[in-house]
Structure 1
Amino acid sequence: MVYRRTPRIQARMDSQRGQILDAALELLAERGYAGCSMAAVAAQAGIATGSVYRHFPGKAELIVELFRLVVTHEVAAVERAAEQPAEIPARIVAVVETFAGRALKAPRLAYALLAEPVDAPVEAERLVFRHAFRDVIARWVREGVRAGVLPAQDAEITAAAIVGATAEVLIGPLTTDNTDAVPELCTFTLRALGVPG
């Protein structure tokens, strides 16, 4: 006979998994990837370390799931910013401003998501993260080219370059609390798009 969890036990397991993810997010935001051990997550969640391992085989798997959750929220935020009524170049700038602004509000978390040394599965998820932002920008670049407000260009390459430049520039401000880079990133984005300035 196969063991099946009752709805009550499943609800308790789901709740505990949520606690673990919340605790891991708090630690990632405070201490970064290096400070987010399974034992530290368990202590933050107020549960036994073995309970964390019951849900996640290891730190990398836990952080990969956490990255997915965070990225979903971040991509939704930049998509909402790009949907605001504006000319297409301004929509693309809104993506960069939103991405950078949100990163600067949680610099330790953003550094962990963008640049901190991590295990290979987390690094692979980081690429997914960057591609998700690239895709948002590429959509609007294609639309701008179709509408004739942007010069002909490869939308994915332009978008990847903008995301890469944004991430690279933010690494400095994220580690030094310097927010002066955002206006320069916006200017750079318009130039990269080929918008006359």
Structure 2
Amino acid sequence: MAYRQTPAVEARLQDNRSRILQAARALVGEGGWKEAQVASVAAAAGIATGTVYRYFPSKAELFAEVLSAVSQREVDVLADIADSGGAALGRLHSAVATFVRRAMRNPRLAYALIAEPCDKEIDEARLTYRAAISEVVRSIIEAGQASKEVRPDVRPDIAATVIVGGFMEGLIGPLSPLSRQQHQDTEAYRREVAQLADQIAALACTSVAVPAATVKPLHRRAS
């Protein structure tokens, strides 16, 4: 007769897995991929190091799942904005600005997700994440072309890739551990983040918006 796990055992195993992922995410948020070692994750989760490997065969697989889980939440937030209705350029601005603001809430974690050197498995998860965000942006651009807000001469997939690459590249400096220390509890910092988010979003929108009609100046005759 095959052994079947009891509900209590299944719940305990799931709890251990959740604690491992939560501990790993917290450590990445504090010091990036290099500082988050399996032994540290185990200690933070309150379990033995060997137990971590029962759930995740390698450090790379553990942190690839951490990246995937955090990234999916960001994709879901942007997808909600894309589906919210209203002007396409307004949705594009909101999506990009929201991404920037959310990244700046935890700069160290966001830097690890976007730009920090990492193992191949983690980088593959990162590329999947960027592709998913690009797909959301592509859907907004296509809607903007249908409503004639967005230039018809751009390919939506290429434009989306350029926009996503642009706003992520624009965040590397502000998120980098080498930059000055941010003070997230100050009003000045919140204003800086709001300005950064608005400027990056405005540039993204300008890159695909239909140019405003050119108004030719009137030349008066000399009297």
TM-score of the pair, normalised by structure 1: 0.94
What residue number does 2:217 align with? none
What residue number does 2:91 align with? 91
Describe the superposition over 1:48-107 as per-residue Cα deviations: whole angstroms up to 9, x where unpaired. Answer: 101111110011111111112111211111122334443110101111001111000010
What SS does structure 1 have at the residue aligned with 2:35?
Answer: coil
What SS does structure 1 have at the residue aligned with 2:36?
Answer: coil
Describe the superposition over 1:118-177 as per-residue Cα deviations: whole angstroms up to 9, x where unpaired. Answer: 100110000011011101110010111122221112111101101001111101011234
Describe the superposition over 1:10-52 as per-residue Cα deviations: whole angstroms up to 9, x where unpaired. Answer: 1110010001011011111111111111101001111110111
Return the letter of the residue paired with 2:157: E
Return the letter of the residue paired with 1:41: V
CA distance in 2, matches of 1:196, 1:106: 36
CA distance in 2, matches of 1:162, 1:4: 50
CA distance in 2, matches of 1:196, 1:99: 25
What SS does structure 2 have at the residue aligned with 1:193?
Answer: coil
What residue number does 1:7 align with? 7
Tell whether 2:139 aligns with 1:124: no
What residue number does 2:211 align with? 196
What residue number does 1:164 align with? 165
Return the letter of the residue paired with 2:138: A
CA distance in 1, matches of 2:103, 2:211: 28
CA distance in 2, matches of 1:82, 1:32: 30
Structure 1 unpaired stretches of 5+ = none
Return the letter of the residue paired with 1:28: V
| Moved >6 Å (runs of 4+) | none
What residue number does 2:100 align with? 100
What SS does structure 1 have at the residue aligned with 2:207?
Answer: helix
CA distance in 2, matches of 1:90, 1:195: 14
What residue number does 2:175 align with? 174
What residue number does 2:218 align with? none
Q: Is the 8 A contact 2:92 2:201 kept in 1?
A: no
CA distance in 1, matches of 2:149, 2:199: 22
What residue number does 1:38 align with? 38
TM-score of the pair, normalised by structure 2: 0.83
Q: Is the 8 A contact 1:89 1:195 kept in 2?
A: no
Q: How many equivalent pairs are there? A: 197
What SS does structure 2 have at the residue aligned with 1:4?
Answer: coil
Return the letter of the residue paired with 1:196: P
Q: If each structure's helix is expressed as a fraction of its own residues, which one has the higher value?
A: 1
CA distance in 2, matches of 1:108, 1:81: 25
